[in-house]
Amino acid sequence: MGLTLHCDFETRSTVDIRKAGLYVYGAHPTTEVLMVGFAANDDEPVWFRPGDKSAAEREFKDALRLAERVCAHNAGFERRMLTDVLGPRFGYHVPPISRFDCTAARAAIQALPRSLDGALRALGAKVRKDKEGHALMLRMCKPRRTFSHNEEGYPEALARALDGDPCFTIDGHRVIEWWADERRIERLAQYMLDDVRGEQALDKALAPMTPEHRVTWELIEHLNDNGVPADVQFINDARWAAHVAADDLDRRMRKVTAGAVPKASNVAGLKRWLQGNYGIDCGVALDDEPEDAPEESLAPDAAEEEKPKAKLDKKRIGELLKDPSVPEEAKEALRIRQQAGKTSVKKYQALLDRVCPDGWVRGNLVFHGASTGRLAGAGVQMQNMIRDVRKDWGVVRDDLLTLSPEEFEAKHGPMMTALSQMIRGFLAIPADLDAELWWADYAAVEARGVAWLAGCEKLVELFASGGKIYEEMAHAIYPHFTVEEITRRDKAGEGIERFVGKQVVLGCGYGMGPPKFIVHCDNFNVAVDMATAQLAVRTYREEYPEIPALWRGLEDAAKCAISNPGKVFRYREIAFKRDKRWLKMRLPSGRLLWYRNPRLVEIETDYGTRVNIEYDAVNAVTKKWGPERTWGGKLAENAVQGLCFDLIRDAKLRLRAAGYDPILSVHDEVICLVSGERIRAGANVDEMLALMCELPEWAAGFPLKAEAKTGRRYSK
């Protein structure tokens, strides 16, 4: 057996890694690796302090060169600390990405919690939560205090720093004091060594990465290292404009409420004002809300079902603005609050926090962010940048700096809305870089995936031929309109038929019923009554019966697998097998999706007793480990999202090999930086699209389609 080096680092810095991200943190001169804990294979771990020239340090340096695997939990952190700190300052060897192994990534592959304690607990390990050690780590990783050169205590602090006291370091014209006495150092070391032991145990318990997972993880590490170019001047301008707009919104809120609500962020005050002056019940006890609620309170409340109390959130404000009985003064206050709550505007500050000295933003992606394998966003959360983009981007940018808020709104609409619509434009090629941005987006890839996986030839053919899919669906729902009439009415803005047809095709492939379809349409500000929703959902299922059959077939196969451990049960291209405490779903690519502790439970419903599939997982809302239920429609969603991720992953690898250099992916879109040299050598959009849509053998017949754009600034 080759050498596996297990390691964990404890660090400190004046930089807040949660805000600035790993890459800014690692590059900052105040960032230090306080200590290193490590173990070879199954040996008992030991620790040392970098630069102490101990036998442990020499052993670790040798192991870095000799180890076949350098294993850590969230190994990207240790890799960056070696690259940015231990390598340059102490001459440590930095192994290539191919030799690192990440137990957090492997836990995510098996749909376990990403945290070390969480993953071990989910696997049944008896983990002692060292709350005292964790609290000490949080204290020691940041400064105790700082001394400016003209501050009392500075001379003494400077002298101690010059004498090599580990509790004091020099940073420019100031001295930083740390929590770093020997007693605390020893206690922190024991906490770190426990983490090494936990990582050793987790490494044994988890399945190794498959070659496909390995390639994907390394690709994401490379994308995070490379980052994306940012227009820092624009980001600064936008942040300044957002401050100006926020001050203007506060002024307008004071004016419309006669001073009763001093700030647009004061949700509790706004509720009291609405109820006291207009009798508008916002549905919660006013004392339950903080005076200045965070702007996220306007975001759709994902935990709404678990919290019966209503909020003055995005949905509620939208309802009140549509209500003809609400006076105009109240609506104006609600519109002001709506603008103040644009969470996407906060991304500008997040971008500035995370931009590296060279103007690039790094560390933007999380490997296997969902149990299906899809990526998640990190830091700035580029995965959820709004899709509504200003077509007059350049004009609006110029006017941000030259017009007053009132003049700007008269010309372009509310400033906060405009800023949120401009966020994608931060990603731009620097003036001195000979390159372009090329980005390609898969069209309705999951709707196509459902049709393909279900064997729904009628829908597959419509997608493959470029037919009028949404109009055909609308015609089936509204047969008194021809396809041509539906098209004409949609272009003229006279009807919702095509909209309903589109939303059914895009939204109902995983079993969405009429009540949720109504909510879905309401998210687009389109009111659909229950009769229309029932008709639309029923028509979709009747037109494409293979899709409901997919839900039933997957659920039956999964239930049979749970009841018959060791045996394989299939429905079309999907296979299930129960292996001890795991239910495994095999995708067409061969990749597995994992479900921990699968079981069948009986539940009472309005239609009688039903046998449900239950398993343990991380709840998407609470982020806690516990029981989850699934059924055929959800299993279909897992399978389709998984196979679609496999397609986009393979496309990124082909693009990279062909010199198109992916730098970011946003859901089903790949953004590439194409060098001028590559363009002059023959790169073209048609070739890029061909690479995107090349099908592996397992996906034969998938009606894949992509559309591309190019430019020096990213848009939609």
- pLDDT at 308 > cutoff 80: no
The set of residues, in sequence order, having a beta carbon less than 8 Å from that of 172 and lying 6+ positions away, is none
Place of tokens 């239609």: 607
Q: How far is CA 1 from the centre of its chain?
A: 37
Q: In what order do the strands lie in the sheet with 608-618?
A: 568-571, 574-579, 582-586, 592-605, 608-618, 625-630
pLDDT average, residue stretch 389-417: 90
CA distance 589 to 569: 17
pLDDT average, residue stretch 535-560: 97
| Residue pLDDT, tens place only, 646-697 | 999 999 999 999 999 999 998 899 999 999 999 999 999 999 999 999 999 9
pLDDT average, residue stretch 28-52: 97
C-alpha gyration radius of the chain: 28
Burial 338-370 (b: 16+ CB within 10 A, else e): bbbbbbbbbbbbbbbbbbbeeebbbbbbbbbbb
Percent of the chain with pLDDT over 90: 82
Percent of the chain with pLDDT over 70: 96
CA distance 632 to 511: 8
pLDDT at 293: 41
The set of residues, in sequence order, having a beta carbon less than 8 Å from that of 43 and lying 6+ positions away, is none
pLDDT at 291: 40
pLDDT average, residue stretch 50-73: 97
Q: Which domains does the chain have, with CATH numbers?
A: 4-142+179-209 (3.30.420.10), 232-284+311-426 (no CATH), 435-443+644-711 (3.30.70.370), 457-543 (no CATH)
The CA angle 592-596-600, to the nearest 5 degrees, is 110
pLDDT at 701: 96
pLDDT at 307: 40
pLDDT average, residue stretch 381-391: 80
Give the lowest-confidence range in 70-74, 90-94, 246-250, 571-575: 246-250
Contact of 77 with 22, CB cutoff 8 Å: yes
Higher pLDDT, 584 or 400: 584
pLDDT at 300: 33
Tell me the CA distances in angstroms from 480 to 483, 484, 497, 530, 706, one per residue in order.
10, 12, 11, 20, 33
- pLDDT at 124 > cutoff 60: yes
The set of residues, in sequence order, having a beta carbon less than 8 Å from that of 480 and lying 6+ positions away, is none
Tokens describing residue 55: 């036998």
- Among 581, 558, 588, 540, residue whose Cα is nearest residue 700: 588
Tokens describing residue 12: 């400190």
Secondary structure class of 297 (helix, strand, coil): helix
pLDDT at 451: 97
Q: How confident is the model at residue 233 (pLDDT cuts 50, 70, 90)?
A: very high
CA distance 466 to 209: 38
pLDDT at 113: 96
Q: How far is CA 397 from the centre of its chain?
A: 27
Tokens describing residue 45: 């771990």
- In degrees and rounded to multiples of 5, residue 646 shows phi and psi of -60, -40
Strands (E), 462-501: none
| Residue pLDDT, tens place only, 590-636 | 999 999 999 999 988 888 889 999 999 999 889 999 999 999 999 99
| Residue pLDDT, tens place only, 470-519 | 999 999 999 999 999 999 999 998 889 999 999 999 999 999 999 999 99
Q: Say what the pTM is.
A: 0.91
Q: Which long-range contacts (CB under 8 A, 24 or more apart) does 314-321 make?
A: 314/338, 314/341, 315/522, 316/282, 316/283, 318/525, 320/280
The set of residues, in sequence order, having a beta carbon less than 8 Å from that of 552 and lying 6+ positions away, is 632
Q: How confident is the model at residue 289 (pLDDT cuts 50, 70, 90)?
A: very low
pLDDT average, residue stretch 264-271: 90
Tell me the CA distances in angstroms from 283 to 263, 279, 310, 312, 523, one per residue in order.
21, 11, 5, 8, 20
pLDDT at 290: 40
- Among 592, 574, 321, 267, residue whose Cα is nearest residue 450: 574
Contact of 498 with 487, CB cutoff 8 Å: yes
Q: How confident is the model at residue 703 (pLDDT cuts 50, 70, 90)?
A: very high
pLDDT at 1: 67
